[in-house]
Chain A
Amino acid sequence: MLGIIRRDLMLVWHNKRERFFIIFYIPFLLLILESYEPSWLYLTILVAYTYLLSIIPFSYDIKGKSQYIINSLPITRKEIVFYKYLSTFVYLAVIIVYAGVYLWIINRMGIKTVDYFDLEMIKESIPIIMILTSIVYPAYFSFEPKIAQIIHVIVFVTFFIGIASLGSLGDKSIVSNMEFLSGRGMIYAPIAMYIISLFLSMRLYKNRDL
């Protein structure tokens, strides 16, 4: 698993475009979502970064057949899929630290008042990340990279439209906006969806011609 995570992080960090994105996406979000409350911004950053960090490494398969390399190494396809699903939570942990430090610096410098650690929002972000990746991972594991890329863009844009709609409700508290995420169903539904998605991806990837 460490091998897969190391690969993903190296790919993101050593590509100029991705590095630029990692560094400047937080200020970009702070700028365009200026009017929204701090906890909502924090949630958006956590979800967007974790989701994109999980998905970006797949984009390398579009440019070349880099999946030939990973699949020629001593690792089974089931393991590749399983580690990918597991790594989502590792990326969330990485982003909590990264965004925390980044936002804390922004706070300290007095540029903007933003949350840099909010346990409630971390809890809220997990089901959203699980739902988004549950849809997109099987697409990458079963379709041609270009088709998967289209599905990814649709999912990501839908997420942004959805979250922007919630943010635009104004003074209402973020917690009440997110009430639909706090029921018991919203604990089990994303977990079930994620597990079903995992097994679906394993099955689809196992039989796929690369």
Chain B
Amino acid sequence: MDYILEVKDLRKEFKNFTIDDISFKLEPGYIMGFIGPNGAGKSTTIKLIMNLLKKDGGEIKIFGKDHVKYEKEIKDRIGFVYDENYYYEDLTINQMKSIVAPFYSRWDNNQFNYYIKEFDLNPRVKIKTLSKGMKMKFSLAIALSHHADLIIMDEPTSGLDPVFRREILDILYNIIQDDTKSIFFSTHITTDLEKIADYITFINEGKVVFSKSKDEILESYAIVKGGTDLLDENTRKQFIGLRETKVGFEGLTDNLNNIKSTFGNKVLIEKASLEDIMVYSVRGKEYVRDY
């Protein structure tokens, strides 16, 4: 199987934080959401993939090739959007475009003009005068204007209004209709991923919690609700995360059979959302009482 992005045992050590043996794979034609709480290592992983940070161990292959050895060739086929605007603020949209465009072998001016019009951007205004949403639109226009095969985005929808977020998601969805292209994007707005992602990689404290297909994840986790009288030391252990209130408890499980055999039909079982999975996994057993 040829993967468009393959990360294996990735390791990077900082003074107070370590990215520890991160592994995941993304096939062509799919969208992978990269989720995790703030400080989990999402942006660091993306910077390692883009070779902005140097890895201490492991392997990163993009389009089947080593990301450092074939850096130039690989980056010609990557469109990137970062969480902040790193473009030169004193330049106008057109001036910035004229700096970036010559670097790409497949730069498409018509495509760029199409997105600038579509996103309602004025190419003659300075980047520093743009709102956060406008800056994100501009970054996206650049990323989508050189026929990239892999789009890497770091929190592209954070701070954007729901209308524009939906607009971005629609654009991304259209891109992967071409089976050769893929999208890898980090976010903590998990509802966005529920709409369009095929795979989810969840990291916490620099480690991968899971990297699976979205359907598999949503099928394997469940939210269990019941009265607090059902809980004791043993039954509490069956939950990944648990929240107890005066009126009852709510917990996340990935072992529904165990829950059913323990509680029978004394509990209510509901589908878990990605947000439930992320929140309960991060807070875990430490987050036990809410009253």
The residues of A with any CB-CB pair to B shorter than 8 Å are 2-3, 6-7, 10-11, 14-15, 60, 63-66, 68-69, 71-76, 79, 207-210
B73 pairs with A15, CB closer than 8 A: no
Q: Which applies to chain B's interface (DSSP): helix, strand, loop or mixed?
A: loop
Taking a contact as CB atoms under 8 Å apart, the answer to whether A73 and B86 are in contact is no
A6-B98, A6-B99, A10-B95 given; A72·B90 CB < 8 A: no
Q: Which residue of chain A has its CB nearest to the CB of B92?
A: A14
A63 to B78, CA, bound (A): 26
Stretch among B48-56, B203-211, B277-285 lining the A interface: B48-56
Considering the chains assembled together, what is the distance between the CA atoms of A66 and B50 in angstroms? 14
> A72 contacts B53, CB within 8 Å?
no
Q: Which residues of A contact B75 (CB under 8 A)?
A: 72-75
Residues A72 and B52 in contact, CB atoms below 8 Å apart: yes
Closest A-chain residue to B51, C-beta based?
Answer: A71
0 or 1 for each of B89-118: is its CB under 8 Å from A? (1 = yes)? 111100100111011110000000000000
Please list 29 pairs of residues, one from A and one from B, whose beta carbons are closer than 8 Å in the complex, sorted by A's number. A2-B102, A3-B103, A6-B99, A11-B90, A14-B91, A63-B89, A64-B84, A64-B86, A64-B89, A65-B86, A66-B86, A66-B87, A68-B86, A69-B87, A69-B88, A71-B52, A72-B50, A72-B75, A72-B78, A74-B75, A74-B105, A75-B72, A75-B75, A76-B71, A76-B72, A207-B54, A209-B53, A210-B52, A210-B53
Across the interface, which residues of A come within 8 angstroms of B84, CB to CB? 64-65
B82 interface contact, C-beta 8 A: yes
Which residues of chain B have a CB within 8 Å of any CB of chain A?
A: 47, 50-54, 71-73, 75-76, 78, 80, 82, 84-92, 95, 98-100, 102-105
Closest 9 CB pairs of A and B: A74-B76, A73-B103, A74-B75, A68-B86, A210-B52, A15-B90, A209-B53, A7-B99, A3-B102
Q: How far is the CA of A74 from the CA of B74 in the complex (A)?
A: 7
Chain A minimum-CB-distance residue to B102: A3
Which residues of chain B have C-beta atoms less than 8 A from A10's C-beta? 91, 95, 98-99
- Chain A residues whose CB sits within 8 angstroms of the CB of B71 once the complex forms: 76
Contacts of A76 in B (CB 8 A): 71-72
B53 contact set on A, CB distance < 8 A: 209-210
